[in-house]
Amino acid sequence: MPHCTTRDGVEIFYKDWGSGRPVVFIHGWPLNGDAWQDQLKAVADAGFRGIAHDRRGHGRSTPVYTGYDFDTFADDLNDLLTGLDLREVTLVAHSMGGGELARYIGRHGTSRIKSAVLLSAIPPLMVQGPGNPEGVPGSVFDSIKAGILNERSQFWRDTAVGFFSANRPDSKATAGNQDAFWYMAMAQTIEGGVDCVDAFGYTDFHEDLKKFDIPLLVVHGDDDQIVPIDATARKTAALVPGAELKVYEGGSHGIAMVPGDKERFNRDLLEFLKS
């Protein structure tokens, strides 16, 4: 299986499909690169090279005990891009992966990057505070960590419902979507699961967003029950000059996997890639 070895010896697994200008997909928590299968096929069929990696401690990458912070994730991504010598890259990031994308640009710039897409992403800041009243209370992050530590298998089954807005009467989410979420979540280390909550809950990306000098597409569902749109996507689109915001009415957090929404996202992504 293809792996990239990071500067500290971690083996990062990745898929590499198609040929052409590279599109690198960055998954959310607690998933892995398999979450992007539909998009990998879509871009490869359209003449691009689709690449999706598993974050350290997730999926088929090394199940390390430490390093679950955004500086480390960004440097892992840099090791992948430089190891494969990728240039003119479009980065596409979901949820927590949006923090990885933002911190990568904050630390490594855009010399290899052509454009970026943030899907249901966490920047600029998730946690609620005086300057971010639309955010998520810190007590929610505490309860997430407690759920993982108490009985993570059932916690992931319960979390999958809100992730896909499967609790709505008109939901398009399938039982298969929820099963796939559980399967990927169980392949994440328990330490990574807990540490990532602090990372995505409390990391501030405002300074990273100031360094964006590339075209940016922001896509978010207005029924996202995991990452509130008013605290994240709307603010990011206002902070990055020239950013385009697309709001999916009734869209869940798991847009890229849910029937109907994923086809719409694929069309929007390909249109952005070709523009």
Its domain, for residue 194, covers 3-274
Sheet holding 244-248, edge to edge: 3-5, 11-18, 49-53, 22-26, 89-94, 113-119, 216-221, 244-248
**Residue 1 binned pLDDT confidence (cut-offs 50, 70, 90):** confident
pLDDT of residue 218: 98
Using CA atoms, how far residue 193 sits from 149, 231, 250, in Å, is 9, 23, 28
Query: Residue 34's pLDDT band (boundaries 50, 70, 90)?
Result: very high
The 10s digit of each residue's pLDDT in 256-266 is 999 999 999 99
Please give the model's pTM, rounded to 2 decimal places: 0.97
Question: Would the pLDDT of 41 be above 80?
Answer: yes
Average pLDDT over residues 178-203: 98
Q: Tens of pLDDT along 161-185?
A: 999 999 999 999 999 999 999 999 9
Note the pLDDT tens digit of each residue in 53-100: 999 999 999 999 999 999 999 999 999 999 999 999 999 999 999 999
Number of domains in the chain: 1
In the structure, what pLDDT confidence band is assigned to residue 236 with cuts at 50, 70 and 90? very high
Mean pLDDT of the chain: 98
What is the CATH classification number for the domain harbouring 106?
3.40.50.1820
pLDDT for the residue 135: 97
User: Which residues form the catalytic set?
Assistant: 95, 224, 253
Q: CB of 252 within 8 A of CB of 163?
A: yes
**How confident is the model over 125-131, as a mean pLDDT?**
97
